[in-house]
Amino acid sequence: MVASEILLQKSAAQVGVLVPNESRAAYVEMLREMDRMCQHVIDTPDYYPNNYVAKYPRKNVRWSSGEDNEYRGWAWRANVQGADDGLLAGKTLCLKDNICLAGVPLTFGTKALEDYIPTIDAELVKRALDQGATILGKATCESFSHGPGSITSFYGPVQNPHADGFSTGGSSSGCGALIGGGLVDMAMGGDQGGSVRIPTFGLISYTGVLSSEWGVDSVGPMTRTVEDCALLLEAVAGYDGIDDRMLGAPVHPPSYHADLIQARSSGITGLRIGVLKEGFTNPHLDPRVDALVRQAIKDLGSLGAEVVEVSAPFKLGGGLTRVGRQAGSRGLAVTEMYEKLLPWTQNKLDLAGRYVINTCLESEYGWANYPLAYPRAINQSRALRDQIDELLADVDVLVMPTVTQPARRHAPLEGGPVTWQSWSRESGLCRRY
């Protein structure tokens, strides 16, 4: 790329200004200097953390299909044996297919990203292997890790192990199926809007995980039991020195598993449970979900917990996503993936699907017409966090439904209003908090 007057005017138009005729030559020369600087950066070898391929070899890497892919939960199969002992010794683990596992293809749930094999291991992968986990492969995720259902991955619909033809949720759809079907003990899923209940934003390193939006990206454990969840969280949590989402996170997190075992003997007498009022006001909340959660709260009260209603009236909507634009973050950018994906073309967008197209359109529309909305939302999110912290100063835990609906039948992929309605109903309630 060489700067020219035409490119100058194009850039100026995107900003919404005109460059006077008498100044154009000077600006073009400055842009050409920028060309030289940017090309120098691009020509410089990238810098990634070392992977663990030599330490923990990747064996039997294979595409999973047919009978080898029950529920369509697998993207790629592999066998990576971790350390001989540790918190996760004897446990099997799958990874959502937006998490880098060196030597194993990553699809991101879309044909728009072809032939990408990471050369890096996500930080959470290294920690899980060092704690003895056996990684069995990559779990199917929705296209671009985007969408609350189980229908947008190019592998086809992910099936609910308890009800064929029904959703497992999303976008960590394959993780849900493999966990629910008992094919793995644990999974690492991701959350940009509802598929994993975030333990605490920034508690687990996002280094080596493909980003959707820096301000909401989170990754966390998915398991069938609370004990396994505590084990996996303890194994992977803690500051990694790279991910700036983790500002303030402890290097050595609490002993979640040991604390859980101790709590079994002490019981929950005296535990203060705050029932978050706003968690029950969503218009899409199914009465059956409402009743089930309220009964669980009542049961906790009968076991000795003190139950009180609390309120955090501040509400936030979804974030703006700019895929491939990591401005403002000093964490690891997985540039080798962007080299495969960018620039966007019509064919790539068509392959990505309408959920992703909608997000791209919303993003560009939002930045063009409401440039203050995103920075204002970031500031407002701190107000919401402060409200929640204030509540947690008075209660030990907060309780609310985490999803609005039971598992729904798969919506048609190109189903018009039905599909969009499914999006709004299936998104987790906790995305607001």
Same domain, 16 and 71: no
Same domain, 38 and 70: no
Q: Does residue 424 have an active-site annotation?
A: no
Number of compact structural domains in the chain: 2
pTM as predicted:
0.88
What pLDDT, on a 0 to 100 scale, did the predictor assign at position 197? Answer: 59
Rounded to 10°, the helix 24-43/5-15 angle is 90
What is the dihedral sign for C-alpha 127, 131, 135, 138?
negative
Same domain, 68 and 205: yes
| Vertex 140: Cα angle to 46 and 240 (nearest 5) | 40
Tokens of 359: 């997000």
State how far the Cα of 195 lies from the Cα of 157, in Å rounded to an integer: 16
Same domain, 22 and 119: no
State how far the Cα of 185 lies from the Cα of 187, in Å rounded to an integer: 7
| Residue 54 within a domain | no
Same domain, 118 and 172: yes
| Residue 265 within a domain | yes
What pLDDT, on a 0 to 100 scale, did the predictor assign at position 15? Answer: 79
Backbone angles phi, psi at 143, to 5 degrees: -55, 120
How far are the Cα atoms of 91, 227, 255, 286, 300 from residue 262, in angstroms, in the given order? 22, 12, 11, 35, 18
Classify burial at 117, counting beta carbons within 10 Å of its beta carbon; exposed 0-12, middle 13-18, buried 19 or more. middle
Helix, strand, coil percentages in the chain from 3-state DSSP, rounded to 5:
40, 15, 50
Residue 191 three-state SS: strand
Backbone angles phi, psi at 346, to 5 degrees: -60, -40
Same domain, 370 and 398: yes
How far are the Cα atoms of 81, 90, 138 from residue 174, in angstroms, in the given order? 21, 22, 9
What pLDDT, on a 0 to 100 scale, did the predictor assign at position 418? Answer: 47
Strands 397-399 and 272-276: parallel
Range of the structural domain that residue 12 is part of: 5-43
The domain that holds 239 is classified in CATH as 3.90.1300.10
Tokens of 361: 């359109």
Tokens of 129: 């292997």
Tokens of 337: 């993936």
Same domain, 240 and 106: yes
State how far the Cα of 307 lies from the Cα of 6, in Å rounded to an integer: 66
Q: Does residue 211 have an active-site annotation?
A: no
| Residue 50 within a domain | no
Exactly one of 195, 205, 422, 427 is catalytic; name it: 195
State how far the Cα of 32 lies from the Cα of 37, in Å rounded to an integer: 9
Same domain, 27 and 93: no
The segments of the chain whose pLDDT lies below 70 read 193-199, 314-330, 413-433
Which of these, 199, 195, 191, lies nearest to 177 by C-alpha position? 195
Same domain, 24 and 140: no
Same domain, 10 and 137: no
Residue 165 three-state SS: coil
Same domain, 219 and 275: yes
Same domain, 88 and 37: no
| Residue 53 within a domain | no
- Cα 286 from chain centre: 25
396-429: burial string, b at 16+ Cβ within 10 Å, e else: eebbbbebbbebbebbeeeeeeebeebbebbbbb
What pLDDT, on a 0 to 100 scale, did the predictor assign at position 421? Answer: 55
| Residue 139 within a domain | yes
Residue 151 three-state SS: coil
State how far the Cα of 194 lies from the Cα of 173, in Å rounded to an integer: 11
Length of the chain: 433
Exactly one of 64, 91, 96, 145 is catalytic; name it: 96
CB 190 within 8 A of CB 98: yes
| Residue 52 within a domain | no
345-372 per-position pLDDT tens digit: 889 888 888 888 888 888 888 887 888 8
| Residue 51 within a domain | no
| Residue 49 within a domain | no
Q: Does residue 4 have an active-site annotation?
A: no
Exactly one of 64, 143, 153, 171 is catalytic; name it: 171
How far are the Cα atoms of 19, 27, 30, 35, 38 from residue 24, in angstroms, in the given order? 6, 5, 10, 16, 21
Which of these, 241, 246, 64, lies nearest to 155 by C-alpha position? 64
Rounded to 10°, the helix 226-236/256-266 angle is 150
